[in-house]
């Protein structure tokens, strides 16, 4: 395993140390591994909390700041953070308007956020709502399983809800909005290579040189199926078709298309993939009005990509375009 | 061995937790490799981090009675593990605590009742059913075997040995299963053919009980 | 080779197609492979042109926009663009105030930009100045060689000169400023793994699992030396020490520290590296007042990092902080 | 073979360029592999892209005379290659053009003079000296051998064969050199022990001349 680290057991703590120094606009509670907007709690604003395992950078801490999240709890690599962290963060970002937990749908994350909400309810008088994000169409029989995974759509949810929170909307309005953006979103991913979890020290799965994983998760969980390595113009429909089959995206005011790099994929290739994807959307009568291309939700050093599509309407478009100032997404300020 | 074995005292329970921690440390890479096949390659690291913290907590502040020990262990696991296994193993011990009824030495039935309460907590938290390819598939048969053996008048030591055998069989039975809970469920049919990591660590937990609690009780008998 | 592409020969053209669709704020001349600010030429403003081989994304097109570059010429992967492209771009971004070529110091780039300037002089009446950026301290005997490579410092040069150009400064003032920022900057890089050039289809160099390259270039050129794989706290001084040995960075108003990921390095690790680097700077009495951590000048799928340090003063700090709106760097607008 | 060989006509020169293009195509991977060792792994792709464009241009619009042919070839290379080799090989041909003096058939001395002008262009553009481990290390000895052979009264065919031998030797001699120009110079001492890719393609260029120009002239003799 070749990585820029010292002891793998210290990776998350040491990385947070660097993040803290690099971003004076954030505040890091190293003991609890919570990263805050330096000015949290923001008076009158609902606090937005997310988080999850580490290894997805810039998610999650890269999306803290005006117009997006107020705090993030960092877990070990690919391991959900724990309820104590979440409860502590919840307390500290509550300005009295309540706190919204934006939870990526994984068994661990959901259970830990549940326990955190129970703790917060028992220990403080903070009102907490939780919205679970589950946009990954790779999981087919979601009814009798852990359900669909939360993947790229979270960026749209967190950005749009973040903008609405700055407007002073109420906790329940924001929870509804989060659910609406999540319902409007679908994602599908693929991997060319496995990632290597530092604590394990070797690739999570063996993928022969001539095969790729379709429907991969963001933690190196194997995908739905393996197919032979194919050119980009054949891979693109393997991602776009299941997304379009799952929801009608032809209405509304166009869509947000997010082509995500999983870590080791050159941006040069991601743009090429976006070209292939946009051509498929053209054919399907789906109109991309906003685009995001880059490594935003990574899986350590995995090579691959995912596509997330979010149906927009006038309101969502305005909220997407609203100013945001985080290290991962920034415009208008 | 005759019925009416002596109870399980605090020391023995601590030995159980230490034995489980040692066993997890020994099988860390195996647990992670199992998780790599159908999950995200962290179960060994998760359990090792958690049980090391449990042992540290034991060393730092010995608990006053079994209830306190279980509570401290559960809270430590919830605080230090994360992921799916943290809340589940954490809940297991947290629910065992009140089920001891404050006793300082647990008679076999109380110990079995506490374990059963733990399992109910796990099921309440994780909603897994038998056959979903989770730790429940090792824990539930183990507790059934324990109860049955105790009901048949066997000693706690023997009953725990039976439980451990049942846990191992339950763990092995997860291999052909298609996962319906947890991360492995994303794989659908592809999850079949792989042993569940959580069922594997759960079997280690029961084996540690058979080894330390069972052993101590047997010695004490 | 596992990559998201079709025919490697079409990679750059197809990637530009996706880039074009993803960024309505840019204009792409596909025939000449030139990417422009949509509103170029900007009246009264000196035009800023850079470019180079592809494979370094977001460099170079990711730095086009208000407050930074006006146009970029894209070459084949790791191959300098050609004079015709540069001459055409030069003509099209000249609003009458002249054009500054910001050239990364590589033999090919320098010769092609030279020929472009000759072409532009012969064919139009555009005044062209060129500044060559050469910040890489890995090249030791630079006097009798092709000189030091242009690497991470270009980001500082292009950002700072871009801000000054928006203020309406003259061509010669901007050229002086570019030289000053370049002189104020030093860089050093390392690689954990080789990159794979798509047209070649296999890694450029073999690097055993237990060795790393120190002083690597941004095109997979082998570095100055190979050393055994080491923990991050031992790698950091291998980068920082030669930089600090080459220039005194203790004066002025602090420094900009730029920790660059070469492509496949997780941001989690880059932040850890920044923590190590910042600790070394503390010891050396060098004060980071601005920080940039991320993959900005990549080498396809190479895993590794580089550190660039730029001495700041009051003016440079203000220009660095000035608004910029590019896909790679954005703030204040 | 006697002195006073017949001149080199347009057809023969085109055959030279096509032969070089074919040779580059054949050695593409070798050139890239050499560049991978001490550069950035693109020399084969660069030269192949350029010479394919040159052949396309020949097919599309045959040049009127040698000067036009060289100019078109030089411009095509400058336009299509990029990197270091594009301006250098481009300049080589661009500088050959005026040195033909507008002749439709080049006598051996004029051909040699044109090649020399090409080399001077390469040196003016790239500032490389002999021993810097570049294409100059193959080209300069080749032209020296050519001039010497012609001065000794040998035929152009023989003189080009001598030039090709000298180019090959010059190419081989780059192996122990420490690069002082181009991308390989970044490696310092580590560049020694590797053959220079540009010297390798340059030797192919001279060999193609010996094969086609030399061959044609010999046939015509
Ligand atoms: N809903 C659930 N109920 C019971 N056990 C579960 C459930 N979900 C997951 N598990 C158990 O947790 C194990 C995985 O634990 P771990 O790898 O530590 O967490 P994560 O899946 O979050 O990475 C699985 O092998 C399974 O036995
Ligand atoms: N200054 C120079 N003068 C002469 N030849 C040079 C010079 N610099 C580089 N070369 C030649 O160019 C070759 C590399 O060409 P190529 O790989 O196509 O370009 P790049 O180095 O830009 O990738 C080298 O092997 C060397 O022979
Ligand atoms: Mg996990
Ligand atoms: Mg796991
Ligand atoms: Mg090159
Ligand atoms: Mg090269």
* Min Cα–Cα distance to chain C from A2, Å: 6
Cis peptide before B106 (omega within 30 of 0): no
Cβ of D182 within 8 Å of Cβ of C204? The answer is no
Strands lying side by side in the sheet with C304-311:
C225-228, C211-214, C185-191, C304-311, C255-261, C288-294
Indicate if ligand 2 lies below 6 Å from the C-beta of C145: no
Is residue D192 one of the residues assigned to a domain? yes
Cβ of A18 within 8 Å of Cβ of C293? The answer is yes
Pocket test of ligand 1: the residue of B44, B80, B84, B185 to mutate, having most ligand atoms within 8 Å of its CB, is: B84
Q: Inform me whether the pLDDT recorded for A120 exceeds 90.
A: no
Select the residue of C192, C267, C293 nearest A2 (Cβ to Cβ). Answer: C192
Select the residue of A3, A14, A275 nearest C21 (Cβ to Cβ). Answer: A275
CB contact at 8 A, D103 and D66: yes
Pocket test of ligand 1: the residue of B198, B203, B204 to mutate, having most ligand atoms within 8 Å of its CB, is: B198
Pocket test of ligand 2: the residue of D89, D133, D137, D182 to mutate, having most ligand atoms within 8 Å of its CB, is: D182
Is A219 catalytic? The answer is yes
pLDDT in the model for residue C290: 98
Indicate if ligand 2 lies below 6 Å from the C-beta of D7: no
Is residue D2 one of the residues assigned to a domain? no
Q: Inform me whether the pLDDT recorded for D220 exceeds 80.
A: no
Is residue B3 one of the residues assigned to a domain? no
**Per-residue tens of pLDDT for chain C, all 333 residues:** 999 999 999 999 999 999 999 999 999 999 999 999 999 999 999 999 999 999 999 999 999 999 999 999 999 999 999 999 999 999 999 999 999 999 999 999 999 999 999 988 888 889 999 999 999 999 877 667 788 999 999 999 999 999 999 999 999 999 999 999 999 999 999 999 999 999 999 999 999 999 999 999 999 888 889 999 999 999 999 999 999 999 999 987 899 999 999 999 999 999 999 999 999 999 999 999 999 999 999 999 999 999 999 999 999 999 999 999 999 999 999
Spatial distance between the Cα atoms of C147 and C215, rounded to a whole number of angstroms:
14
Cβ of D40 within 8 Å of Cβ of C217? The answer is yes
Partner A, chain C 162-181, Cβ-Cβ below 8 Å? none
Query: What pLDDT digit, counting tens, does each position of A262-280 carry?
Result: 999 999 999 999 999 999 9
Query: What pLDDT digit, counting tens, does each position of D59-118 carry?
Result: 998 899 999 999 999 999 999 999 999 999 999 999 999 999 999 999 999 999 999 999
In order of their start, the domains of chain C are 10-184 (3.40.50.10440), 185-311 (3.30.1180.20)
pLDDT in the model for residue B213: 86
* Contact pairs from chain C to chain D, CB under 8 Å: 126
Mutate one of B186, B187, B194 to test the A interface: name it (highest A CB count within 10 A).
B186
pLDDT in the model for residue A190: 98
**Ligand 1 closest atom vs CA B197:** 25
Spatial distance between the Cα atoms of C120 and C127, rounded to a whole number of angstroms:
8
Cβ of C275 within 8 Å of Cβ of A15? The answer is yes
* Min Cα–Cα distance to chain C from A128, Å: 30
How many distinct structural domains can be found in chain D? 1
Spatial distance between the Cα atoms of C66 and A176, rounded to a whole number of angstroms:
37
Q: State the CATH number of the domain containing residue B112.
A: 1.25.40.340
- Nearest alpha-carbon partner for A46 in A169, A180, A160: A169
* Min Cα–Cα distance to chain C from A18, Å: 4
Cβ of A11 within 8 Å of Cβ of C272? The answer is yes
Q: Taking CB atoms and an 8 Å cutoff, what residues of chain C touch D46? A: 76, 79
Query: What pLDDT digit, counting tens, does each position of D127-172 carry?
Result: 999 999 999 999 999 999 999 999 999 999 999 999 999 999 999 9
Range of the domain at B51: 8-220
User: What percentage of chain D has pLDDT greater than the value 90?
Assistant: 90
Ranges of chain B with pLDDT below 50: 1-4, 220-221
Query: What pLDDT digit, counting tens, does each position of C20-54 carry?
Result: 999 999 999 999 999 999 999 999 999 999 999 99
Cβ of D181 within 8 Å of Cβ of C146? The answer is yes
| Confidence grade of residue A139 (pLDDT, cut at 50, 70, 90) | confident
Cβ of B88 within 8 Å of Cβ of A111? The answer is yes
Q: What residue's CA is closest to ligand 2, atom 17? A: D43
- The verdict on C106 touching D (C-beta cutoff 8 Å) is yes
- The verdict on A13 touching B (C-beta cutoff 8 Å) is no
C143 contact partners, CB below 8 Å, separation of at least 6: none
- The verdict on C139 touching D (C-beta cutoff 8 Å) is yes
**ipTM (interface predicted TM):** 0.94
C near B: at least 3 beta-carbon pairs less than 8 Å apart = no
* Min Cα–Cα distance to chain C from D212, Å: 30
Q: Inform me whether the pLDDT recorded for D221 exceeds 50.
A: no
pLDDT in the model for residue D214: 75
D45 contact partners, CB below 8 Å, separation of at least 6: C76, C79, C197, C199, C200, D28, D32
Dist. CA A130 → ligand 4 center (Å): 23
Cβ of D45 within 8 Å of Cβ of C217? The answer is no
Q: Which residues line ligand 1 (CB under 6 A)?
A: A 79-80, 107-108; B 35, 39-40, 42-43, 46, 83-85, 88, 122, 126-128, 134-136, 181-183, 196-199
Select the residue of C5, C288, C295 nearest A232 (Cβ to Cβ). Answer: C5
Dist. CA D27 → ligand 2 center (Å): 17
Q: Inform me whether the pLDDT recorded for D1 exceeds 50.
A: no
- The verdict on A227 touching B (C-beta cutoff 8 Å) is no
Phi/psi-derived region of residue A236, left when phi > 0, alpha when psi is between -120 and 50, beta in every other case: alpha
- Which residues are A294's β-sheet partners? A260
Indicate if ligand 2 lies below 6 Å from the C-beta of D83: yes
Is residue D22 one of the residues assigned to a domain? yes
Residues by chain with Cβ below 5 Å of ion ligand 3: A 78-79; B 40, 42, 83
Q: What is the mean pLDDT of chain D?
A: 94
Is residue D99 one of the residues assigned to a domain? yes
Spatial distance between the Cα atoms of B35 and B194, rounded to a whole number of angstroms:
9
Number of Cβ within a 10 Å radius of residue A128: 23
pLDDT in the model for residue D102: 93
* Min Cα–Cα distance to chain B from A46, Å: 26
Q: Inform me whether the pLDDT recorded for A140 exceeds 80.
A: no
- The verdict on A14 touching C (C-beta cutoff 8 Å) is yes
- Residues of C noted as catalytic: 56, 219
Spatial distance between the Cα atoms of B1 and A318, rounded to a whole number of angstroms:
76
Is residue D75 one of the residues assigned to a domain? yes
CB contact at 8 A, C288 and C278: yes
Residue of B nearest to A197 (CA): B41
Spatial distance between the Cα atoms of A36 and A42, rounded to a whole number of angstroms:
11
Is residue B1 one of the residues assigned to a domain? no
| Confidence grade of residue D4 (pLDDT, cut at 50, 70, 90) | very low
Query: What pLDDT digit, counting tens, does each position of D183-214 carry?
Result: 999 988 999 999 999 999 999 999 999 999 87
Dist. CA C245 → ligand 1 center (Å): 52
Q: Taking CB atoms and an 8 Å cutoff, what residues of chain D touch C145? A: 179-181, 185-186
Q: Taking CB atoms and an 8 Å cutoff, what residues of chain A touch C19? A: 271, 274
Q: Inform me whether the pLDDT recorded for D2 exceeds 50.
A: no
Is residue D175 one of the residues assigned to a domain? yes
Q: Which residue has the tokens 């051509």?
A: A279
Q: What residue's CA is closest to ligand 1, atom 3? A: B126
Q: What residue's CA is closest to ligand 2, atom 3? A: D126
Q: How many CA atoms lie within 13 A of A71 on its CB side?
A: 32
Dist. CA D86 → ligand 2 center (Å): 9
Spatial distance between the Cα atoms of C185 and C160, rounded to a whole number of angstroms:
12
Pocket test of ligand 1: the residue of B43, B81, B172 to mutate, having most ligand atoms within 8 Å of its CB, is: B43
Indicate if ligand 2 lies below 6 Å from the C-beta of D198: yes
Q: Inform me whether the pLDDT recorded for A213 exceeds 80.
A: yes
Query: What pLDDT digit, counting tens, does each position of A59-90 carry?
Result: 999 999 999 999 999 999 999 999 999 999 99
Handedness of CA D137, D140, D141, D143 (dihedral sign): positive
CB contact at 8 A, B144 and B121: no
A near C: at least 3 beta-carbon pairs less than 8 Å apart = yes
- The verdict on A192 touching C (C-beta cutoff 8 Å) is yes
- Rg (Cα) of chain D, in Å, rounded? 16
Query: What pLDDT digit, counting tens, does each position of A164-186 carry?
Result: 999 999 999 999 999 999 999 99
Chain centre to alpha carbon of residue A96? 26
| Confidence grade of residue A142 (pLDDT, cut at 50, 70, 90) | low
Which DSSP state fits B190? G
pTM of the model: 0.95
* Min Cα–Cα distance to chain B from A224, Å: 5
């Amino acid at each position: 395993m070749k990585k820029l680290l010292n002891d793998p057991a210290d990776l998350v703590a040491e990385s947070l140390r660097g993040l803290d120094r690099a971003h004076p606009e954030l505040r890091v509670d190293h003991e609890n591994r919570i990263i805050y907007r330096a000015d949290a709690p923001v008076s009158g604003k609902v606090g937005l909390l997310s988080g999850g395992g580490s290894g997805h950078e810039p998610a999650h801490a890269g999306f803290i700041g005006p117009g997006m999240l107020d705090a993030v709890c960092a877990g070990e690599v690919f391991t959900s953070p724990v309820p104590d962290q979440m409860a502590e963060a919840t307390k500290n970002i509550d300005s009295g308007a309540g706190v919204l937990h934006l939870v990526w749908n994984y068994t661990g994350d959901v259970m830990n956020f549940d326990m955190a909400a129970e703790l917060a309810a028992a220990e403080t008088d903070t009102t907490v709502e939780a919205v679970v994000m589950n946009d990954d169409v790779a999981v087919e029989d979601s009814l009798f399983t852990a359900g669909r995974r939360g993947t790229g759509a979270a960026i749209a949810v967190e950005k749009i809800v973040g903008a609405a929170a700055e407007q002073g909307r109420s906790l329940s309005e924001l929870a509804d909005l989060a659910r609406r953006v999540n319902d409007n979103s679908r994602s599908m991913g693929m991997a060319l290579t496995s990632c290597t979890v530092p604590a394990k020290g070797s690739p999570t799965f063996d993928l022969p040189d001539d095969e790729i994983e379709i429907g991969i998760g963001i933690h190196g969980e194997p995908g739905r199926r393996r197919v032979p390595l194919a050119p980009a113009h054949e891979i693109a429909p393997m991602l776009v078709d299941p997304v379009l089959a799952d929801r009608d995206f032809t209405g509304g005011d166009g869509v947000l298309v997010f082509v995500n790099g999983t870590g080791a994929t050159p941006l040069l290739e991601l743009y090429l993939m976006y070209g292939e994807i946009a051509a498929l959307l053209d054919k399907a009568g789906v109109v991309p009005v906003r685009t995001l291309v880059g490594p935003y939700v990574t899986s350590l050093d995995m090579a691959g990509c995912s596509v997330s599509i979010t149906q927009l309407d006038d309101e969502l478009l305005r909220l997407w375009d609203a100013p945001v100032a985080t290290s991962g997404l920034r415009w208008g300020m | 061995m005759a019925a009416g074995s002596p109870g399980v005292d605090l020391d023995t329970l601590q030995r159980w937790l230490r034995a489980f921690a040692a066993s997890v440390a020994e099988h860390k890479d195996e647990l992670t490799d199992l998780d790599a096949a159908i999950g995200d390659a962290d179960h060994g690291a998760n359990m090792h981090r958690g049980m090391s913290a449990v042992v540290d907590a034991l060393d730092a502040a010995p608990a006053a009675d079994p209830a306190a020990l279980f509570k401290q262990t559960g809270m430590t696991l919830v605080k230090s593990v994360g992921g799916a296994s943290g809340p589940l193993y954490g809940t297991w011990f947290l629910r065992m605590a009140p089920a001891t009824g404050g006793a300082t030495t647990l008679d076999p039935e109380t110990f079995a009742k506490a374990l059963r309460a733990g399992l109910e907590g796990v099921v309440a938290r994780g909603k897994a059913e038998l056959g979903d390819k989770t730790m429940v598939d090792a824990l539930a048969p183990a507790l059934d075997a324990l109860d049955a053996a105790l009901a048949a008048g066997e000693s706690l030591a023997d009953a725990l040995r039976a439980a451990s055998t049942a846990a191992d069989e339950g763990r092995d039975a997860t291999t052909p299963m298609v996962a319906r809970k947890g991360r492995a469920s994303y794989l659908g049919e592809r999850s079949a053919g792989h042993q569940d990591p959580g069922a594997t660590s759960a079997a280690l937990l029961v084996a540690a009980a058979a080894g330390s609690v069972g052993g101590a009780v047997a010695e004490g008998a």
